[in-house]
């Protein structure tokens, strides 16, 4: 297959440029791709007044930059992000992303931090199959998971998320885009946009990829208020999104007690492969959630203790963080994240 790459620069700068893959021009031959190029490039640039085109070309799949994917079960491929916080990463590619290939189409689970990462995921899929990408499932609104969606939307995919996800992402949109612009070079960020779900899941739903179905489940407030899990029936692979952190210190942006409740209930059917939001894939549920459960439980108990002793938040947060210090070796980006989590825990638990 051939793919249209449009070079796009920030208006007023010929140096801050990035390649934008426009999937609508995808074609079996270079000539067909080139025949579509002008119209598709023009229509993409129209309405994006901050960007200007600087030439385009049609490239075969093998020449596209692609994310490295690992097959973790038949037809299930995963990009393993670098398990550190966004601030410590050179490009924000910290989250795990998934691809499930059916007989008729492909589903993507999370799209990464930027248009650039989404495009490289698209290219990685094209190295595996020419089937259409029919669905994108976003596990929650966080920027490291949900900002690479636009390229898949342009490829015709339906975008799914938790019922609370559109509002959660929409109100944080400006902040997320500002923060990736501040943290990463323009070539990583140019073209990145917020893409909201087309279809939301309030409880359960399923999607059919042809001979293969994925079950989606909207969870209660835990890591965030819009966590969604995805289960591949064919291989019993569970994509937990950030309900499971490994290696990277867990971040609370929803409810500590809700998250601990979620962890108490073992998933049914029993997953054979667990893909966490961050860190390594595993086949053991106990291994997947063990360190995280220990951390969140200790955080809850230390915070309750500080509140019961009458400590104001300004004293409680450093106290609680210090009490968790012996877990530091288990987690990346620990002290900063633990302090943020202690603040979130205090605000939640002081009303108990």
Report the residue number, 56 or 96, with the smaller CB distance to Zn ion. 96
CB 137 within 8 A of CB 216: yes
CB 233 within 8 A of CB 213: yes
| Chain mean position to CA 207 | 19
Tokens 């994006």 sit at which residue? 48
**Judged by CB under 5 A, does residue 278 bind Zn ion?**
no
Smallest gap from Cβ 136 to Zn ion, in A, equals 16
Report the residue number, 232 or 242, with the smaller CB distance to Zn ion. 242
Give the range of 157-165, 236-244, 320-328, 333-341 binding Zn ion by CB under 5 A. Answer: 236-244
Q: How far apart are CA 31 and CA 194, in angstroms?
A: 32
Per-residue binding letters, 124-143, with Zn ion (x by CB under 5 A): ------------------x-
Smallest gap from Cβ 113 to Zn ion, in A, equals 11
Give the range of 16-24, 56-64, 146-154, 237-245 binding Zn ion by CB under 5 A. Answer: 237-245
Q: Applying CB under 5 A, what is the total number of residues that bind Zn ion?
A: 2
Q: Which stretch of DSSP H or E encloses residue 59?
A: strand 51-60
Out of 26, 232, 242, 341, the residue judged to bind Zn ion by CB under 5 A:
242
Grouping H, G, I as helix, E, B as strand and the rest as coil, residue 145 is helix
Smallest gap from Cβ 242 to Zn ion, in A, equals 3
Smallest gap from Cβ 47 to Zn ion, in A, equals 30
DSSP conformational letter for 12: T
Smallest gap from Cβ 295 to Zn ion, in A, equals 15
Grouping H, G, I as helix, E, B as strand and the rest as coil, residue 143 is helix
Give the range of 97-105, 242-250, 279-287, 289-297 binding Zn ion by CB under 5 A. Answer: 242-250
Closest CA to 78 of 59, 58, 64, 99: 99
Grouping H, G, I as helix, E, B as strand and the rest as coil, residue 209 is coil
C-alpha angle 134-138-144 in degrees, rounded to nearest 5: 125
Report the residue number, 94 or 317, with the smaller CB distance to Zn ion. 94
Helix orientation angle between 285-308 and 334-349, rounded to the nearest 10 degrees: 60
Report the residue number, 115 or 142, with the smaller CB distance to Zn ion. 142
Long-range contacts of 313-316 (CB under 8 A, 24+ apart): 313/343, 313/346, 313/347, 313/350, 316/342, 316/346
Smallest gap from Cβ 142 to Zn ion, in A, equals 3
Per-residue binding letters, 28-67, with Zn ion (x by CB under 5 A): ----------------------------------------
Site for Zn ion in 141-180 (CB under 5 A): 142
Smallest gap from Cβ 197 to Zn ion, in A, equals 16
CB 282 within 8 A of CB 290: no
Report the residue number, 168 or 207, with the smaller CB distance to Zn ion. 168
List residues near Zn ion by CB under 5 A: 142, 242
């Amino acid at each position: 297959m051939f793919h249209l790459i449009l070079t796009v620069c920030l208006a007023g700068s010929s140096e801050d440029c990035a390649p934008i893959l426009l999937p609508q021009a995808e074609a079996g031959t270079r000539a067909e791709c080139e025949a579509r190029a002008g119209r598709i490039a023009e229509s993409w640039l129209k309405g994006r007044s901050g960007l200007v085109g600087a030439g385009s070309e049609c490239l075969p799949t093998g020449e596209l930059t692609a994310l490295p994917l690992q097959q973790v079960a038949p037809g299930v491929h995963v990009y393993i992000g670098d398990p550190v916080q966004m601030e410590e990463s050179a490009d924000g590619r910290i989250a795990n992303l998934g691809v499930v290939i059916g007989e008729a189409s492909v589903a993507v689970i999370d799209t990464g931090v930027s248009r650039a990462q989404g495009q490289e995921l698209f290219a990685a899929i094209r190295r595996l199959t020419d089937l259409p990408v029919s669905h994108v499932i976003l596990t929650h609104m966080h920027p490291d998971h949900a900002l690479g969606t636009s390229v898949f939307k342009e490829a015709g995919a339906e975008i799914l998320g938790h019922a609370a996800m559109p509002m959660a992402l929409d109100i944080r949109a400006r902040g997320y885009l500002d923060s990736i612009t501040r943290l990463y070079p323009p070539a990583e960020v140019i073209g990145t946009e917020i893409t909201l779900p087309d279809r939301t899941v309030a409880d359960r739903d399923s999607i059919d990829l042809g001979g293969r179905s994925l079950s989606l489940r909207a969870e209660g407030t835990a890591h965030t208020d819009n966590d969604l899990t995805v289960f591949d029936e064919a291989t019993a692979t569970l994509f937990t999104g950030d309900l499971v952190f490994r290696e990277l210190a867990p971040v609370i942006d929803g409810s500590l007690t809700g998250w601990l409740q979620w962890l108490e209930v073992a998933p049914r059917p029993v997953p054979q492969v667990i893909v966490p939001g961050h860190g390594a894939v595993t086949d053991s549920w106990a291994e997947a959630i063990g360190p995280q459960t220990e951390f969140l439980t200790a955080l809850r108990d230390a915070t309750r203790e500080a509140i019961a002793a009458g400590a104001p938040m300004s004293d409680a947060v450093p106290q609680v963080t210090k009490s968790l210090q012996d877990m530091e070796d288990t987690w990346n980006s620990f002290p900063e994240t633990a302090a943020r989590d202690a603040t979130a825990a205090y605000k939640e638990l002081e009303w108990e």
